[in-house]
A and B are shown apart, each in its own frame.
Chain A
């Protein structure tokens, strides 16, 4: 490589490195300024970080109370039940969104960093960002499967407030129970003991529900587990088509 070209190349690399590192530096500076967000203050928070899985058969998966639907949404459910599809969109690898993603038979991992709690769901490899830096919700959030989440601490309880949910997802386990774009979810994360995390989830929706709908799921801590990859499209042989007909591909 001619020296001039080499010099130009090195300069370019140096320039790119400076650009690449600059945001990291400002992030670190911002983190120190975040309310309650500096790394050293985090050691005082209840230790919810790590890998958790719903506790099966011990209150982990209790059928919740039935949601109390408004007449309009009761009619939607009735119409669904009159001609139910043979399977759920998850057969096509569509993730469940909130709140369903928090009730999967696969573990979740909780990460604490300054200004943010991250929940990684192994099922469908979903990520929830819960901003704990004091920001509010956007005025007009885009509607997403997992919504927009902000969190704050009330004593030892992490209170997570989420809005902005896509209407493509159901309100609970039953695909016929739908929600409006005004669904609002409050989750209270609390360590019942060092090995047990309880999350009480309360859903309200002025268009779909006549009163809030609540459930509590408990999760057991699995310190020796790591999350595994879950690429649903890797070898998905199940499907449900637009008419609701389901099938399976058995070809080798």
Chain B
């Protein structure tokens, strides 16, 4: 597990605050997450729940005891993501991925999903380029 505040984090989060906080606010507040922190978890996808009101990604992350910890990462809904390039097949059990999250404040192994680097190196973000939200 690596904890690494990233340089692009603030910029991307600024966009998220401007354009995407309302989506998340629609269901619940960010109070439980430490939005000042970005950390990455690298591991193997155990399950990707393509469900409302949130997607949930379970990822097995190697720990320093030689085993794995399962992290639970809350993401935007299929309704929101499905209109922004994601599908139920974007993450698959067995995929080796790196996910950037804002972790839970209470220290549990979980957080809110910011973006992921897929096995093919492609990056998927939860909060898309705002121009994609404009009507055609």
The number of A-B residue pairs with CB atoms under 8 Å apart is: 109
Asked if A252 and B130 make an inter-chain contact with CB atoms under 8 angstroms apart, the answer reads: no
B28 — which chain A residues lie within 8 A by C-beta?
87-88, 90-91, 238, 240, 246
Decide yes or no: A247 and B52 within 8 Å by CB, A61-B22, A232-B27 being known contacts: no
Instruction: Give the CA-CA distance A232 to B70 in the complex, in Å.
Output: 24
Instruction: Give the CA-CA distance A221 to B26 in the complex, in Å.
Output: 21
The residues of A with any CB-CB pair to B shorter than 8 Å are: 53-58, 61, 86-88, 90-91, 93, 103-106, 122-123, 195-196, 220-225, 228-232, 234-238, 240, 246-248, 250-252
- Let me know if B54 is at the binding interface, CB within 8 A: yes
Q: Which residue of B lies closest to A227 (CB)?
A: B79
Q: Looking at the complex, which one of A87, A123, A196, A224 makes contact with B29 (CB distance below 8 Å)?
A: A87
Decide yes or no: A55 and B134 within 8 Å by CB, A86-B31, A106-B80, A238-B28 being known contacts: yes
- Let me know if B47 is at the binding interface, CB within 8 A: yes
A252 — which chain B residues lie within 8 A by C-beta?
46-47, 58, 70, 72
A103 — which chain B residues lie within 8 A by C-beta?
22
Instruction: Indicate with 1 or 0, residue by residue over B101-134, a CB within 8 angstroms of chain A CB atoms.
Output: 0001000111000000000000000000010011
Instruction: Indicate with 1 or 0, residue by residue over B92-107, a CB within 8 angstroms of chain A CB atoms.
Output: 0000000000001000
Provide the main secondary structure of the chain A interface. loop
Asked if B29 and A86 make an inter-chain contact with CB atoms under 8 angstroms apart, the answer reads: yes
The residues of B with any CB-CB pair to A shorter than 8 Å are: 18-20, 22-23, 26-29, 31-32, 46-47, 49, 51-54, 56, 58, 70, 72, 74, 77-80, 82-83, 104, 108-110, 130, 133-136
Asked if B70 and A58 make an inter-chain contact with CB atoms under 8 angstroms apart, the answer reads: no
Asked if B72 and A250 make an inter-chain contact with CB atoms under 8 angstroms apart, the answer reads: yes
